[in-house]
């Protein structure tokens, strides 16, 4: 039996360099939508995000209703959402968006640093809260964090939610309302002073009593006196 010569395809030339390994597939850019009723703000944020190669701004919108209508077409991963906007504000939009698209990551970008705003936004399903005056790189860190499914609060937002000494674990807004209630103001008077609704005051009042384990207004006044909440107000009892 005659041996067959080896074909050229069976031979390996040691001088031939190996084929280059395939480069790993590049991860797709994070798709970001911006919702803010101030065009200059939206354009500024867009310019910031465009400087990062792993982010893609898929659209800017001026109110909550507009982004709700656009999401099915744009399929954003993250929405940067302002709170106070015409037609539909950020909180309502956040609730509707997450009800219809539960995988969306909502990141609030706002000028409001009060605990009431921050807590309410988180209660509505937002994964993060960033103030508009943060450094550029912090917006990027916030987007990366919520993309990992983590909650992100900028330093200013964290500080607003940190309990202050002398009033247990009450938020800054709750301490303010406690002070006014202890001074004898009615729910309506507190609402007028803080430019909020009477219902909001009633909710805060209920939460304050629950946190402190106090059931009466007299008890709130006594607590305020004992913990220095009334110090410096000139109020005497």
Say which CATH number the domain at 212 has: 1.10.10.10
Neighbours of 103 (CB within 10 A): 6
Percent of the chain's residues with pLDDT above 90: 45
In a domain, 25, yes or no: no
Residues 82 and 184 in one domain: no
pLDDT-derived band at 24 (thresholds 50, 70, 90) equals low
Residues 179 and 205 in one domain: yes
In a domain, 23, yes or no: no
Rounded average pLDDT over 67-77: 97
Q: What CATH number has the domain bearing residue 137? A: 3.40.50.2300
Could you say which of 126, 161, 196 is where a domain stops?
Answer: 161
In a domain, 64, yes or no: yes
Residues 99 and 180 in one domain: no
In a domain, 1, yes or no: no
Residues 139 and 176 in one domain: no
The token duo for 139 is 């917006």
- Asked if 121 and 97 count as a contact pair (C-beta separation under 8 A), the reply is no
- Which region among 58-62, 80-84, 134-138 has the lowest average model confidence (pLDDT)? 134-138
Assess whether pLDDT exceeds 50 at residue 199: yes
Could you say which of 134, 161, 188 is where a domain stops?
Answer: 161
In a domain, 181, yes or no: yes
Label residue 185 exposed, middle or buried (CB < 10 Å: 0-12, 13-18, 19+).
middle
Greatest Cα pair distance, the chain, in angstroms, is: 119
Range of the domain at 182: 172-229
Which regions of the chain does DSSP assign to beta strands (E)?
30-35, 55-61, 78-81, 105-110, 128-131, 152-153
Rounded average pLDDT over 34-53: 94
Residues 44 and 130 in one domain: yes
Could you say which of 161, 180, 209 is where a domain stops?
Answer: 161
In a domain, 10, yes or no: no
Q: How many domains does the chain have?
A: 2
Between residues 23 and 69, the one the model is more confident about: 69
Question: Is the model's pTM score more than 0.85?
Answer: no
Burial 195-233 (b: 16+ CB within 10 A, else e): ebeeebbeebbeebbebbebeeeeebbebbeebebbeee
Mean of per-residue pLDDT scores for the chain: 83
Residues 223 and 115 in one domain: no
């Amino acid at each position: 039996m005659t041996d067959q010569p080896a074909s050229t395809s069976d031979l390996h030339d040691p001088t031939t360099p190996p084929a280059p390994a395939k480069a790993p597939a590049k991860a797709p850019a994070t798709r970001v939508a911006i919702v803010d009723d101030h065009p200059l703000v939206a354009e500024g944020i867009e310019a910031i995000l465009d400087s990062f190669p792993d982010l893609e701004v898929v659209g800017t919108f001026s109110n909550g209703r507009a982004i709700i209508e656009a999401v099915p077409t744009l399929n954003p991963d993250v929405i940067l959402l302002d709170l106070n906007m015409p037609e539909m504000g950020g909180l309502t939009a956040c609730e509707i968006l997450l009800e219809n698209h539960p995988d969306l990551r909502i990141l609030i970008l706002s000028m409001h640093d009060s605990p009431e705003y921050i807590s309410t936004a988180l209660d509505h399903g937002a994964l993060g809260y960033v103030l508009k005056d943060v450094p550029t790189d912090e917006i990027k860190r916030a987007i990366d964090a919520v993309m990992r499914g983590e909650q992100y609060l900028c330093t200013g937002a964290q500080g607003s939610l940190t309990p202050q000494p002398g009033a247990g674990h009450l938020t800054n807004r709750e301490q303010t309302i406690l002070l006014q209630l202890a001074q004898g103001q009615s729910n309506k008077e507190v609402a007028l002073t803080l430019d909020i609704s009477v219902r909001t005051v009633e909710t805060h009042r209920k939460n304050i009593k629950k946190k402190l384990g106090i059931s009466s207004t007299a008890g709130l006044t006594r607590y305020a006196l004992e913990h220095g909440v009334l110090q410096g107000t000139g109020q005497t009892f």
